[in-house]
Amino acid sequence: MIYFDTNVLVYYCIKQDDRKQRMSQELIEQAIAENNFFISSLVLMEFIFTISKLKKFDEQKDKIDFFKKFIMASIDTNSVLSAYQKCEQFNKCRNISDFVHLEIANKYCKKLVTFDSDFKNLQQYYNVDIEIL
């Protein structure tokens, strides 16, 4: 399974950068076709927040319904506490959400895909491969 970070879903839906949108669409469609597309409830929550902040909620509401079918894991207490322990230990708690994403991805997936280069600094704490697009 491949864990998709929120920003990949946002680029998939909202035209901000042609190259990133094309890349996101190809990766997501391929992962869905291969039954490898994985998101968490945290991804969907952040996606809803982001499209609302971009004032695109109404026009992207169908994408929420589409993506919610692919939620494979919820934010659980153990993932949050483990993420907190790591972020505190390494003085990186401004990245707590990224740590939670990684906790979930590490448990269920072989790879996490993102446009967020901050994940590069967290790779050393997890076994899941991180692909920065």
Q: What is the mean pLDDT of each run of 10 residues along the chain (133 residues)?
A: 98 95 98 98 97 94 95 94 93 91 96 94 91 96
Phi first, then psi: give them for residue 90, nearest 5 degrees.
-105, 10
pLDDT number for residue 90: 86
Helices (H), the chain: 6-13, 18-33, 41-53, 57-68, 77-89, 96-108
| pTM to 2 decimal places | 0.93
| H or E element at residue 114 | strand 111-114
Superfamily of domain 2-132: 5'-nuclease (3.40.50.1010)
At 44, the amino acid letter reads L
pLDDT confidence of residue 125: 87
Domain spans, the chain: 2-132
- Are the beta carbons of 113 and 96 closer than 8 angstroms? no
